[in-house]
Amino acid sequence: MMALQGGGCGGKGGGGKGGGKGGGETPPGDNLYVSLLPADIDRDTLMSIFGSVGNVVSCKVLPPKIKDGKCAAFVRFATTEDAVNVLNGWRNGEMLQDFLEPIQIKYADQWGGG
């Protein structure tokens, strides 16, 4: 397993102000967008890491960007409360201490209505 560094890119609160589009943060939901992940991360590893702090129902790893070799993922939790707890715990440096390099977590943008 990889060592997580709490606090994200640029210190604590990386997914806070300015974390979403238009300068504000996307409203809380059950889906988190996790970025700055190592290019070799896989779905099972993420399911294991995030499953230790919340009930994960799905995880999709996106291909790495060629420019920086990092990748991103969407991690969906069973409840919004699980996602909020994970994000707040990460911001406070209380959970997800297993990555070697800082990662960034924010609420995933909500597309479409319904």
Query: What's the distance, Cα to Cα, between the start and end of the chain in Å?
Result: 37
CATH number, residue 77 = 3.30.70.330
- Helix (H, G, I), strand (E, B), or coil: what is residue 25? coil
Q: What is the mean pLDDT of the chain?
A: 77
pLDDT at residue 24 in the model: 56
Regarding pTM above 0.75, the answer is no
Count of domains for the chain? 1
- Band the pLDDT of 110: cuts 50, 70, 90: low
In a domain, 9, yes or no: no
In which domain, by residue range, is 83 found? Answer: 28-107
- Band the pLDDT of 76: cuts 50, 70, 90: very high
Q: CB neighbours (10 Å) of residue 74? A: 15
Phi, psi angle pair for 11, to nearest 5°:
95, -170
Block residue for tokens 């238009």: 22
In a domain, 15, yes or no: no
